[in-house]
Amino acid sequence: MNRNIEPPIAEISRPTLWGHQQITLPNGIEIVYLHDPNQEVFKMDVVLAAGIYNQSRPVIASSMINMLNEGTRQHTSAEIAELFDYHGAYVDYNCGMHKAELSLISLNKYASQTIRMLAEMTLESTFPQKELETYIRNRKQQHLVNIEKTSYLARMEFIYRMYGKEHPYANYFTLEDFDQVTPELLLDFYRERVQASQCRIMICGNVSDTVLQEVSQAFSPMSSNPLPPDKNYTIQPSSPGKYHISKPDAVQTSIRIGKSGVALLDEDYTYFQLLNMVLGGYFGSRLMSNIREEKGYTYGIGSYNVTMPQAAHWMIATDVNTEATDATITECIKEIRRLQEEPVPEEELSLVKSYFNGELLRELDGVFSQSDALKHKLNYGLDNTFYLRAIDKIRTCTAEDIMRLAQKYLNVDDMYIVTAGKDA
């Protein structure tokens, strides 16, 4: 082997998908699992229809899911923590816009103990006052830290302008909202939203018969009352244009430029993701090459397309020295217009396609990653064959397609340009 000669570049092969199985418990809970007998551990996610979108008031949904380990009818928070720690298990919590979930990673030999405790937290939480006070105190401190960051201020202002502060997707809250959270409000939301009829349990790794039996037995008592219908909210965006959040003591200025994006189910989604990658979706993107490498205005800049069930938004994000703010915005717009007016060179497009394919393969690397991917796609009525179709679409995308989508979706006149930092 001559190591002075680079190996030939070969086209990335299509990934192999793990088959998933599905069972439904008598109470309506849907269990979806991907079995890999070579693992010594399993991971399970209890996905609940208890996200921010359906909370009764601000910060209730996130407080509810994050308080599930703070006490049940049978165990204190210390006892819960000790059990998971003793058995080497890991538990995590996440609150999204429409879903909330608690996750467990555990050795198979301790499946009985860890699964039963996870079920107890899901079904018997009590939200004790003392623990709630500690949690709220920590959340308030975190909020005070966040509102000192220009990056946080710019991001939230962009979201408010996109959706309006009254829409759940804005997730607007104030410091005073934390003081309104009570155990009673958490219990009301918990009893309403933690229902078997809208609960999905994802399991992956070594999903033995014992694991399935333990999950079935532990979660069979979950009540199955129908959920109230989703509330209807109207998106009330501000007029596109420039908005500034003054932070006189800031050492830098945070910039967010963007507009509505492309939804996951849209036929242009994959092509738009490729367009975004060319512009700002990886380290070698045009925005990085121009604004970091050539101009030296920032350490990092990127663009993102965020998709949710009812809307999507696209955004460029960076932090720069205040004196470089206007020049950075100008260069961002210049790069957008280049994509609208000039075809992407074939060599560059080929490189980005290969990178994008690699990213898709990374999302499907192993049974745990495939389970996470499937968990997300099931919320949209899809499965992981979505990735196979995306890989096929990437192959067919041309420079003309990229230019057409840039013209269709990246109209600069429709964009919000938000800055947070010192006044110019």
At 274, give phi and psi (nearest 5°): -65, -45
Average pLDDT for 354-369: 94
What would the pLDDT profile of 246-277 be if each residue is shown by its tens digit?
A: 999 999 999 999 999 999 999 999 999 999 99
Q: Residue 165 pLDDT more than 70?
A: yes
What pLDDT shows up at residue 14? 80
pTM, 2 dp? 0.93
Element (H, E) at 351: helix 346-363
What pLDDT shows up at residue 2? 79
What pLDDT shows up at residue 75? 98
Q: Residue 9 pLDDT more than 70?
A: no
Domains of the chain: residue spans and CATH: 21-219 (3.30.830.10), 241-421 (3.30.830.10)
Round to whole Å and give the CA distance between 202 and 44.
5
Tokens of 333: 């717009």
Q: Which residue has the tokens 């189910």?
A: 265
Q: Which residue has the tokens 């190996």?
A: 7
What would the pLDDT profile of 215-256 be if each residue is shown by its tens digit?
A: 999 999 999 999 988 888 999 999 999 999 999 999 999 999
Round to whole Å and give the CA distance between 300 and 320.
9
Give the whole-number percent of the chain exceeding pLDDT 70: 99
Q: Residue 1 pLDDT more than 80?
A: no
What would the pLDDT profile of 17-69 be if each residue is shown by its tens digit?
A: 999 999 999 999 999 999 999 999 999 999 999 999 999 999 999 999 999 99
Q: How much is the mean pLDDT over the chain?
A: 96
Q: At what angle do helices 111-124 and 77-86 cross, to 10 degrees?
A: 160
What would the pLDDT profile of 304-326 be if each residue is shown by its tens digit?
A: 999 999 999 999 999 999 999 99
Q: In terms of DSSP H, where are the helices of 24-71?
A: 60-66
